[in-house]
Amino acid sequence: MAKKIFSCCLTGLACQIIEVEADISNGLPSFSIVGLGDTSVQESRERVRSGIKNSGANFPPTRKTVNLAPAEIRKQGSLFDLPIALSILIASEQVDPKHFINSIIIGELSLDGSVKKIQGALAIAQHAKERGFTRLFLPAQNAKEAGLITDLEIYPIKHLKELILFSQNPASLKIHFGNTLERIKQGLKNKQSTPLFDQIVGLQTAKRALCVAAAGGHNFLLVGPPGTGKTILARAFAELTPAMSNKEIFETTKIFSIAGMLEEEIPLIVKRPFREVHHTASLISVTGGGGINPRPGEISLAHNGILFFDEITEFPSSILEALRQPLEDKFININRAKFSIKFPANFIFAATMNPCPCGYKNDPKIKCICRDYQIKNYQRKISGPILDRFDIMLEVPLIPLRNIFNNGKNSETQILRQTISNAKNFQIERFENSPQIGKNSDMTIDEIRMYCEIDKETEKFLNKAGEERHLSNRAYLKILKIARTIADLDQSSQIKHEHVTEALQYRLK
């Protein structure tokens, strides 16, 4: 008689409970797996066969059929090895199924019966809890990761024989008690390094612009000749961003778990991700997708963090144009013939570029050697719609070398972090009743009308500036968002004329 146990599969960031049942009947020796499993699932027959034999159990020499239901869902990956092996042991009456009631079993088997690490354990543990399961049996290497989910009994498995012994004596397997988010975060505070931002000399205007970007979550583009410090400014920007909330930490950790990028000892992403992408990256690696089971790309790995394109003009136009929708909607859909997967992509887009191919256009000391058509072709690599999605566009000048020795050490990072944190707290309070909005840059037209009101004189000034600079409607709204963030940094509930004036300075003429 077939005996049913439960496992789980991943499709993008979504999980699906899978019923695993085995039937043993008379007939010629055979082993078949049905239920729309891919190649890795079909290959599990050999891993299961060897794993059961090397665990001291008997592999039935008769006809064996394993069904993975629902049958219409394509199953992928090796995490079904352990539940398939257990279902056969239950069907052959070598294991009592009563100990696995209301449990999820996942894990990949080696030929010697040991259990190997899988991807997406955190997402599976969360889904198991949401579906009302009370126990999770999984590889020991994933125990700390799954232990972030409370009110769920986590049983780490190193070898298939441990699962067999557990069915005979439940006390033989100890429950793993994971650390809470707060305890792990407290332990990581002792590993902070010297801030990179304090090592940057001068460039006060650029630093101020980055503070505004960090406080409101605004996209920014730094333009300037080679050697001005654009790249190091963008890399140091990550130090200014406010700390992630527990909700953001969990969302980000879940994405990295599915991508298989979590550390075993500290399976938690506490700092905002900073994903620096090289211009040779493929479209799929940036946006996500690929294969039967699409994977998150760099824009999803940068969720709640920063995506950095150094020398953005070197990137293919196909990649840049593919960012238009995620930058606007904060997510990306990966569509296939039989399903569609939605990946989150709410990130700060940071980029740098030179003003021309040689890099010295408008430089007062070094003559530009580029012809007009070369400059136009170079700047045409970034389309107007992409440029329009940058909230802040700023020129970074080349500072004199002697200024490096005229500036001593400073510790402005801590002060700036506190100021930015205060501005972030204003936004948290402001958007308390709008959970879909976490920062000023996320505001829609309704929130802009509600929170970005300016007086008549300032409105006339902004309208005139918009006409002179030929600002699009999107750019006009972005200036209001930036002005709102500047007001937050000044702890002002009202957007003043000087806030709008400063916001206009962060748009290239």
* CATH ID of 189-505, from 3.40.50.300, 3.40.50.12160, 3.40.470.10, 3.40.50.970: 3.40.50.300
User: How much is the average pLDDT of 224-244?
Assistant: 90
Percent of all residues in the chain with a pLDDT value above 90, rounded to a whole number: 65
Could you tell me the pTM of the whole model? 0.90
| Fold of the 3-172 domain | Ribosomal Protein S5; domain 2 (3.30.230)
Give the torsion sign (CA, 183, 421, 453, 389): negative
CA distance 107 to 114: 10
Question: Of 80 and 435, which is predicted with more confidence?
Answer: 80
Provide the 8-state DSSP code for 313: G
| pLDDT tens by residue, 454-503 | 999 999 999 999 898 888 899 999 999 999 999 999 999 999 999 999 99
Q: Would you list the domain boundaries of the chain? A: 3-172, 189-505
CA distance 233 to 199: 10
Predicted confidence band of residue 239 (pLDDT cuts 50, 70, 90): confident
Which residue is associated with the tokens 């999770």?
A: 136
What would the two tokens of residue 407 be?
A: 């500036």
> CB neighbours (10 Å) of residue 259?
16
